[in-house]
Chains A and B, each alone.
Chain A
Amino acid sequence: MKLINHTSVVKHMKPRLVINILFKSLFFAATLFGLLVLGILLYRIFTQGIAYLDMQFLQSLPSRKPEQAGIKTALVGTIWLMAVVAPISLSLGVGTAIYLEEYAKKNRFTSFIQVNISNLAGVPSIVFGLLGLTVFVRALSLGTSVLAAGLTMSLLVLPIIIVASQEAIRSVPKELREASFGMGATKWQTIVHVVLPAAIPGILTGGILALSRAIGETAPLVVLGLPLFLAFLPKSVFDMFTVLPMQIYNWTGRPQAEFQSLAAAGIIVLLVMLIIMNSIAVLIRNKYQKRF
């Protein structure tokens, strides 16, 4: 007795192969679509902006004359902002995640916090801008300083970091924790020496995504009333500053075509900064990934 009806198999083979190929090409097309759009975007920005991109562009102040204009204040301001946002948001975010995952009891209060954090991640950034304006700029009278903007941005990206860090901590195998406890380690020792090192790749991925968002946000900073033109650089976190996305946004709104090319050049600088940040994260992640 034949186990397989060969005629039936042959009959069904062709449509199955067709379906296989169909879906393969469908998904390939989906991938290609994203790449194509990215390609067009990059091509446009680079052809438009590359001519304006030189050392003079990086070292000059904004100007009404496109050929003399530069992004020095915006570039330095963005670096300052990152230097404030990164430590604040990472320490607060990872701290919250550790508490929620390792210490907090699973009760109503915890799940209430949990739901709110997830909701906060979806709140429009302009709302955080208004919050920052009332709390940091006005009530604490920090003015439009690096610190006020940095705190606002930290609040904005905090939910992303918390959720990503929680996810990373949760995915550390239970056996590792138990083994650590079994060896007589305390909870704190287990967290510092076992859980965190294992969770670092995931935490960093979330952290970098969050910082990338902070570096590109314009709306909350416009609401804070950050200046656009500055003839000086900040010397401390209490000084005024401006950032790249605001400068880019201003240039795209100008009537003269040259300013739109300048905006493209600014976008290239912003992209390069993002790529550098991302590659640092990828490097660190690869270093830790092969541990378990």
Chain B
Amino acid sequence: MKSFKFLALSAMIGAVLAFTSACGSKEETTNSGSQTEGNNTEQANEEGKQLQGEINIDGSSTVFPIMEAVAEEFNTEQPGVKVSVATSGTGGGFKAFIAGTTDMSNASRPIKDEEKAQLEEKGIEYTELKLANDGLSVVVSKDNTWVDYLTVDELKKMWLEDGTVKKWSDIREGWPEEEIKFYSPGTDSGTFDYFDEVILEEQPLVEKATLSEDDNILVQGVSGDKNAIGYFGYAYYAENKDKLKVVPIDAGNGPVEPTNETVESGEYAPLSRPLFTYVKNDSVKKEEVYEFVKFTIENAAQLAEDVGYVKLKDEEYTEALETLEGLK
């Protein structure tokens, strides 16, 4: 009996300890904001004014690194504003956006018509903002000696499911008679959606493709097999240049390799995809959201490059700022 009480007591003490330790570290929040001084950005308007409030953001995990960086920098300026960024995916993000629980929704593809219709039904007005570009990179292994470039038609012929076994020799004369191994991001990802839409015109992708939600797995798969081909975001190629060979894409104007310059100028087509965030117009009327969105547009160029994406042209950001002013 005594021991049972001891147990109950120790369990309670344990619970209290857990709570106090959680509370203890809480006090630090206000300090840490000022301790971790990031490289502050040029804008210094309303320096003295500390805003309060909450901003909820959800959506694509592809856009997440940019939003994380923005929220991180914004927090050093406005520690009173509670920004949270979730990663339910583009589609999951829009569901929450339609349910009205989020202020902003990140997306790695433009909003779909049915999502537009649902938002309309709920009476939610929104504004689309472009944040950056990502150059989807088609890659092969370093051991692949024959591929010098691919045309969009060749890509389509390669990746389209038509019931046959695909060999390199089927794609272009003179290439080895060996089976092509396909590596693709999973069907839930915006990357897959975009590739499917632009290259395959929404027809099914080869069934034999190895699908993975983790792009690092695709990197490993492609780099280890000379007959492999895969595609993913530019950042994953940029980090693994020593293991992978990028394939220049010819859309009719000669082969173009994805680089920061060709993606920014739009020369690398059609695989440059824009990354978006959708803002609820009602939310922008709140000062803290307005300031956050403004901060996002002003710093998107720098922060997007920091996390491995390609910035837009300067005038596109200026335009976005004007759109935002119109919403206030």
Q: How far is the CA of A86 from the CA of B69 in the complex (A)?
A: 34
Does A34 belong to the interface (CB within 8 Å)? no
Does B1 belong to the interface (CB within 8 Å)? yes
Which 5 A-B pairs give the minimum distances between C-beta atoms? A227-B84, A64-B69, A231-B75, A229-B85, A227-B86
Does B203 belong to the interface (CB within 8 Å)? no
Contact with B along A45-73 (1 / 0, CB 8 A): 00000000000000111111100100010
8 A Cβ contacts from B282-328 to A: 303, 306-308
8 A Cβ contacts from A23-56 to B: none
Q: Least Cβ distance of A235 to chain B in Å?
A: 7
* Residues of chain B at interface, number, CB under 8 A: 57
> With A59-B32, A222-B87, A233-B29 known to touch, is A255 a contact of B4 (CB < 8 Å)?
no
Does B170 belong to the interface (CB within 8 Å)? no
Q: Which residues of A contact B92 (CB under 8 A)?
A: 225
Q: Least Cβ distance of B277 to chain A in Å?
A: 14
Contact with B along A130-165 (1 / 0, CB 8 A): 000000001000011000000000000000000000
Chain B binding site: helix, strand, loop or mixed by DSSP?
helix
Q: Which residues of A contact B75 (CB under 8 A)?
A: 61, 231
Across the interface, name the chain A residue whose C-beta is closest to B71: A229
Q: Contact: B239 with A256, CB < 8 Å?
A: yes
8 A Cβ contacts from B237-270 to A: 238-240
Across the interface, name the chain B residue whose C-beta is closest to A288: B3
Across the interface, name the chain A residue whose C-beta is closest to B33: A231
Q: How far is the CA of A87 from the CA of B215 in the complex (A)?
A: 39
> With A225-B86, A250-B87 known to touch, is A61 a contact of B7 (CB < 8 Å)?
no
8 A Cβ contacts from B82-115 to A: 82-88, 92, 96, 99, 101
Of A200, A229, A255, which contacts B216 at CB under 8 A?
A255
Q: How far is the CA of A248 from the CA of B57 in the complex (A)?
A: 20
8 A Cβ contacts from A205-236 to B: 222-223, 225-235
What are 25 A-B pairs with beta-carbon distances under 8 A?
A61-B32, A61-B72, A61-B75, A63-B36, A64-B65, A64-B303, A68-B38, A72-B25, A76-B26, A79-B22, A192-B4, A193-B1, A197-B1, A197-B3, A197-B4, A222-B87, A225-B58, A227-B58, A229-B71, A230-B84, A231-B72, A250-B87, A255-B216, A256-B235, A284-B10
Does B214 belong to the interface (CB within 8 Å)? yes
Q: Contact: A196 with B4, CB < 8 Å?
A: yes
* Residues of chain A at interface, number, CB under 8 A: 50
Q: Which A residues have a C-beta under 8 Å from some C-beta of B?
A: 59-65, 68, 72, 76, 79-80, 82-83, 86-87, 138, 143-144, 192-193, 196-197, 200, 222-223, 225-235, 240, 250, 252-257, 260, 280, 284, 287-288
Q: Contact: B307 with A64, CB < 8 Å?
A: yes
Q: How far is the CA of A287 from the CA of B18 in the complex (A)?
A: 22
Q: Contact: A68 with B36, CB < 8 Å?
A: yes
Q: Which residues of A contact B82 (CB under 8 A)?
A: 230-232, 240
Q: Contact: A80 with B22, CB < 8 Å?
A: yes
Q: Contact: B233 with A227, CB < 8 Å?
A: no
Q: Contact: A143 with B101, CB < 8 Å?
A: yes
Q: Which residues of A contact B86 (CB under 8 A)?
A: 144, 225-228
Of B3, B36, B58, B61, which contacts A253 at CB under 8 A?
B61
Does B42 belong to the interface (CB within 8 Å)? no
